[in-house]
Amino acid sequence: MGNIILTGDRPTGRLHVGHLVGSLSQRVKLQNEGQYDEMYIEIADAQATTDNSGNIQKVKDNIIEVALDYLSCGLDPSKCVIFLQSQVPELSDLTFYYMNLVTVARLQRNPTVKQEIIYRGFQNTLPVGFMTYPISQAADITGFDANIVPVGDDQLPMVEQTREIVRTFNRLYGDTLVEPEAVLPENEACHRLPGTDGQAKMSKSIGNCIYLADSEEEVKKKIMGMFTDPGHLRVEDPGKTEGNPVFIYLEAFSEERHFAEYFTNQETGEIEYKNLDELKAHYERGGLGDMKVKKFLNYVMQDTLRPIRERRHELEKHIPEVYQILFDGSAKARAKVSKVLDRVKKAIGLDYENDLELINSQVQKYAELHEAQEQKKKR
């Protein structure tokens, strides 16, 4: 089997720059390099219902937002299948059988789920569906025979859980499922981008995210208000770049050309800072103000986000066509998962219609029973 890529997002909000560097850019790169046989991108609306059962409208409203974000970042429906999880019911069938291969204790150890439970205040109100979503995610991945899963590092426990399910399944029922591998961005700073306030998590409710759909003014305002090194009070003071969100963002987004474009002196032709190391060194020495760094970051971010925003603006005029992409994708996804489900049910032994041996053995059993009864009567 060749390379099959699968990944996805819950439609619970618009996608932000953390998604962009954490996973979206990687997907687009993989897509455009073309080293794969099939590529699937899932809008995980069913998973999103596991903690939004009372607010399905929120999930529904965000499907189009995520789809627009995908397409404007460069995901191309002629190269990858973009689909809606809820429209592929075969995934639930797989989940049902995988549930038997995972212990409750194992689920309770999942660090991402643990954090999410605390974050959502699910002490005595934890829905069973939410607790078990890693199993359903294993179905998402294995249902497509995916071997490559490009994700941010918060999703590593889900991929690990999937690998365990695959190994258990194959041990019990014979070699059937493909063991996937997570692919993280090469650049360390992209693994988990902090919020603009320096908090580890970007969250809509805290309001510390820069969204792909934000306007130029919104992006600028958020950058200018960003948290930096609280010890860097005066320009002359030495500053910290480590753990400083402005520098983490530069690490994640800036390219060498940005330095040449932005820092070249028009008269002398000299480049004030040729790369991020030089900018960092000056900040750490003292004498470089936060404003100047933020203005450069704004230049970099606008340069990155402008083409995405412009494509999005165009796509927003074609909403029905965007939905159609999802419906067509879902039909393709369903055809694929159906085949894998058939294989899985056969491996477990649940493909009764094709199981002549089963029927014959039952025929045999009753024939022998009747034969014995006949013998008894004769005696």
By CB under 6 A, which span of 8-16, 167-175, 313-321, 354-362 interacts with ligand TRP? 8-16
By CB under 6 A, which span of 88-96, 133-141, 204-212, 271-279 interacts with ligand TRP? 133-141
Residue 155 interacting with ligand TRP (CB under 6 A)? yes
By beta-carbon proximity to ligand TRP, the closer residue of 10 and 280 is 10
By beta-carbon proximity to ligand TRP, the closer residue of 158 and 347 is 158
Cβ 10 to ligand TRP, closest distance in Å? 4
Judged by CB under 6 A, the residue of 140, 229, 251, 290 near ligand TRP is 140
- Is residue 287 within 8 Å of residue 235, measured between CB atoms? yes
Rounded to whole angstroms, the Cα distance separating 307 from 177 reads: 40
In the range 34-53, which residues lie near ligand TRP by CB under 6 A? 42, 44, 47
Site string for ligand TRP, 189-228 (x = CB under 6 A): ----------------------------------------
By beta-carbon proximity to ligand TRP, the closer residue of 49 and 254 is 49
- Give residue number: closest CB to ligand TRP: 44
Angle, helices 156-173 vs 133-142, to 10°: value is 70
Cβ 35 to ligand TRP, closest distance in Å? 19
Residue 151 interacting with ligand TRP (CB under 6 A)? yes
By beta-carbon proximity to ligand TRP, the closer residue of 10 and 258 is 10
Cβ 151 to ligand TRP, closest distance in Å? 5
Residue 7 interacting with ligand TRP (CB under 6 A)? yes
Task: Kindly give, in sequence order, each residue whose CB lies less than 8 Å from that of residue 191, ignoring residues fewer than 6 positions away.
Answer: 22, 152, 153, 184, 185
By beta-carbon proximity to ligand TRP, the closer residue of 19 and 309 is 19
Cβ 74 to ligand TRP, closest distance in Å? 18
Size of the chain in residues: 379
Rounded to whole angstroms, the Cα distance separating 164 from 172 reads: 12
By beta-carbon proximity to ligand TRP, the closer residue of 52 and 155 is 155
Cβ density class 180-191: b for 16+ within 10 Å, e for less: bebbbbeeebbb
Judged by CB under 6 A, the residue of 67, 149, 279, 325 near ligand TRP is 149
CA nearest 25: which of 181, 152, 182? 152
CA nearest 282: which of 270, 274, 298? 274
Rounded to whole angstroms, the Cα distance separating 256 from 276 reads: 8
By beta-carbon proximity to ligand TRP, the closer residue of 149 and 250 is 149
By beta-carbon proximity to ligand TRP, the closer residue of 42 and 145 is 42
Cβ 131 to ligand TRP, closest distance in Å? 14
CA nearest 294: which of 353, 369, 219? 219
Judged by CB under 6 A, the residue of 15, 94, 101, 141 near ligand TRP is 141
Residue 1 CB neighbour total at 10 angstroms: 8
Given the rule CB under 6 A, which residues bind ligand TRP? Answer: 6-10, 42, 44, 47, 137, 140-141, 149, 151, 155
